[in-house]
């Protein structure tokens, strides 16, 4: 069994366990994936709450508009626009994390550890930066997960004598984020109805009910 295979699947014993305690790399990656999936569930719950709030605000916009109260309709519409910005951001983050979790599950052999983990780390850092100040607990958790994955990548690189291609990792990370943004845009259109045009109703024209 190669050194990497031992690092990948066997618990350390003796001096090795004293110098470098902790579970094998495979278990660490599985742990990271579970922690990321927990954050996905957290974001999904937050999105569901925003969706409910969106429906209530949307109805208020329509009601105010049908009563020709354009000032109130505009206030609600602005609030709705801000809520949807937050929902779009959350969907982007959720979808990016979903792709990260899926990629972690593809790490099964020596050749793909660095190739998978390097871009994954960049994606997590991007998501973490985006939620800074909005979701402090999630930001801290993603920071800890990123640190864990960095440690795994270092251990794996040392075991096989390979250095990750960070330039390629940045490109791959951007690709993951772009894919998430495209899907998020589609889901936003499916989940959140388009607002009515807020202009003064014309005489004789039927108004929304």
Share above pLDDT 70 across residues of the chain, in percent, rounded to a whole number: 78
Residue 205 has pLDDT above 60, yes or no: no
Instruction: Specify the range with the lowest mean pLDDT, choosing from 4-8, 46-50, 61-65, 93-97.
Output: 4-8
Which DSSP symbol is given to 149? H
- The whole-number pLDDT of residue 152 equals 84
Least trusted range by pLDDT, from 30-44, 88-102, 127-141, 145-159? 145-159
Predicted local distance difference test score (pLDDT) of residue 56: 95
pLDDT digits (tens, 9 = 90+) for 71-117: 999 999 999 999 999 999 999 999 999 999 998 888 766 557 777 88
- Could you tell me the pTM of the whole model? 0.79
Tens-digit pLDDT profile for residues 10-19: 554 444 444 4
CB < 8 Å & 24+ apart, contacts of 198-207: 198/61, 198/65, 198/70, 198/73, 198/74, 198/77, 199/70, 200/68, 200/70, 201/65, 201/68, 207/65, 207/66, 207/68
Q: How far apart are CA 8 and CA 109, in angstroms?
A: 8
CA distances in angstroms from 162 to 28, 104, 166, listed in the order given = 19, 19, 12
- Which helix H or strand E contains 196, and what residues bound it? none
21 is written with which tokens?
């305690």
């Amino acid at each position: 069994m190669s050194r990497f295979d031992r690092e990948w699947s066997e618990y350390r014993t003796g001096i090795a366990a004293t110098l470098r305690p902790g579970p094998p790399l495979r278990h660490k990656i599985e742990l990271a994936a579970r922690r990321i999936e927990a954050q996905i569930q957290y974001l999904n719950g937050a999105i569901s709450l925003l969706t409910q709030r969106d429906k209530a605000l949307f109805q208020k916009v329509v009601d105010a508009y049908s009563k020709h109260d354009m000032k109130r309709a505009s206030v609600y519409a602005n609030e709705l626009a801000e809520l949807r910005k937050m929902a779009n951001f959350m969907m982007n983050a959720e979808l990016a994390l979903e792709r990260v979790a899926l990629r972690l599950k593809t790490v099964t052999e020596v050749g793909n550890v660095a190739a998978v983990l390097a871009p994954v780390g960049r994606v997590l850092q991007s998501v973490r930066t985006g939620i800074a100040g909005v979701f402090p607990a999630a930001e801290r958790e993603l920071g800890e997960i990123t640190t864990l994955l960095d440690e795994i990548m270092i251990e794996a690189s040392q075991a096989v004598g390979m250095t990750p291609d960070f330039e390629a990792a940045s490109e791959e990370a951007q690709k993951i984020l772009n894919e998430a943004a495209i899907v998020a845009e589609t889901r936003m259109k499916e989940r959140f109805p388009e607002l009515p045009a807020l202009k003064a109703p014309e005489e004789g024209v039927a108004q929304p009910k």
